[in-house]
Structure 1
Amino acid sequence: MDDFATETLDAGRLVYVRAINPDEIPREFFEGTQENAPKYAIHDETGECIALATDRGAAFAVARTYEFTPVSVH
């Protein structure tokens, strides 16, 4: 039984949230110390990074604010 109905998702509005190593991103994205470094990236369907967030919950909230459907990627 499939509890997830993929046919209801708009593929053009999907974004992918993944954990990142803060060393992967340029220093100008930091606001202070390493503790404030973005730890999650939001990618569009082509794989382009479109946003950064300090935690997973914030990444999902940002995506939903802009009417995207976020999904986790490992």
Structure 2
Amino acid sequence: MDTKFDLEKISQNIVYVKPVVTADLPTEVQDQVGDLDQIYAVHNASGEQLALVADRKLAFHLAREHKMEPVTLH
């Protein structure tokens, strides 16, 4: 295989999706989450949190809507 990829360009569009236990969040965020025990955070390659969403499917949808490539972070 001799296909060339611009890895630097690809990495600029990657976002990481990870589960977050709501009990670990600040109280003001917990108040907004309701009765969910877990939500999902979306982070850019620099580690900056971009969003908190109710479920994994929504996190991936949100990323793709903004032309980003979501990957799961454990």
Evaluate the alpha carbon distance shift between residue 41 and residue 32 of structure 1 in structure 2; reply closer, same or farther with a 3 A threshold: closer
User: Given the two structures, how large is their TM-score scaled by the length of structure 1?
Assistant: 0.74
Determine if the alignment matches structure 1 residue 34 to structure 2 residue 35.
Answer: yes
Q: Provide the alpha-carbon RMSD of the alignment.
A: 2.1
Show structure 2 runs of 5+ residues with no match: none
Aligned AA (2:32)? E
Q: Matched residues, percent identical?
A: 33
User: Given the two structures, how large is their TM-score scaled by the length of structure 2?
Assistant: 0.74
Aligned AA (1:39)? I
Q: Distance in 2 between matches of 1:39 and 1:68?
A: 20
1:18 equivalent in structure 2: 18
8 Å Cα contact 1:20-1:40 kept in structure 2:
yes
Q: Distance in 1 between matches of 2:18 and 2:64?
A: 15
